[in-house]
Amino acid sequence: MTVLLTNGTVFVDDDLRAQAADLVQRAQGPGVRGLALVDGHDEGVTLDPDLNTFLLQVLMGLARGDVSVTTLPEELTTTVAAELIGVSRPTLMKMVRDGMLPSRMAGSHTRLRTSDVLALRKTRARERREAFEALLRFDEEFGAD
């Protein structure tokens, strides 16, 4: 059973939590490619990989205990931005000083637009994926047998 409050908070009971844990367990099984949505005509709709990952993370959090889902604000602190990008705060500040990431000062505090931080995060993920694929190609061509 779920209860939706007017502020958007959803409370769930132990039965729903157990169902989430079972689904997470099944989703990690061999051959599972992801979650799918089935419409009223029994047509399967494959979910976008990012949405699939998000829903699985919510379900894992629900299975473990309390979970909170919220949207990001328009501006972030340097600590939150560093965590999102996956770097230390000093590294983030170096990126700001080097012009890799635009920022503004709010008094003595640096603030970063969420859209800029997420764009950099996406760029870095793409670059890591491309480097990994290049390494795989190199290994296929020159790797030891």
Give the whole-angstrom CA distance, residue 85 versus residue 117.
7
> Where are the chain's structural domains?
2-64, 75-142
Predicted confidence band of residue 140 (pLDDT cuts 50, 70, 90)? confident
Residues in the chain: 145
Residue 87 has pLDDT above 90, yes or no: yes
**pLDDT tens figures, 22-79:** 888 888 878 777 788 888 888 888 888 888 888 888 888 888 887 788 888 999 999 9
**Tokens 């132990």 -> residue:** 14
What is the DSSP track for 53-110?
A: HHHHHHHHHHHHS-----PPPSEEEHHHHHHHHTS-HHHHHHHHHTTSS--EEETTEE
- What percentage of the chain exceeds 70 in pLDDT? 95
CATH topology of domain 75-142: Multidrug-efflux Transporter Regulator; Chain: A; Domain 2 (1.10.1660)
Q: Residue 21 has what pLDDT?
A: 87
